Amino acid sequence: MATLSACGAVVLPLVGVQLDAEGVPHVLLRPCGDDKIRGPGLQGFAGTNQAEGGGLLDGENLSGWKVPAEHAPGDVDFPLFAPPSQWAAAQVGDQDLRAGLTYQISFGKAEFNYEYTGLVTFRLTDIDALEPGQVWADDRSMTREAFEELAEESC
């Protein structure tokens, strides 16, 4: 794993998206151990531009949700546009996947310097191309088992 520095949080592949049996996208969120997380959210931005170095995108959120508080969720899976009710998420814009938007799900470790950020960036075409049992994470599709192993090893 990369050495942590005072320059900011390291970005880790701790978030994935998978389709359930009915074709509904679900978030797979895997914070490290029992870490509390801060600011989980889904943001949909116009266009396809990615931030340099795979970091957080910037711009107007057109489709998603935002959670203002800290939580200690452990591993959690939930529908893309329906985060756990105890998170009291605020909806932003349309609550469905739209062509032409680039989506990003992220969270930070709840510490003064964040230490790490869990992140996945995707488009509708990435999710539509998933086969049963596949997860979109780390800018590619993989098996659920490969995602779980990647997230575990990233911590």
Q: How far apart are CA 29 and CA 100, in angstroms?
A: 24
Which residue(s) pair with 38 in the sheet? Answer: 70, 108
Three-class secondary structure of residue 146 per DSSP: helix
Which residue(s) pair with 144 in the sheet? Answer: none
Sequential pLDDT tens for the chain (155 residues): 333 444 567 999 999 999 999 999 999 999 999 999 998 999 999 865 555 445 555 667 889 999 988 888 889 999 999 999 999 999 999 899 999 999 999 999 987 666 899 999 999 999 999 999 999 999 999 999 999 999 999 99
Three-class secondary structure of residue 50 per DSSP: coil
The pTM of this model reads 0.86
CA angle 63, 150, 154 (to 5 degrees): 90
pLDDT at 48: 59
pLDDT at 4: 40
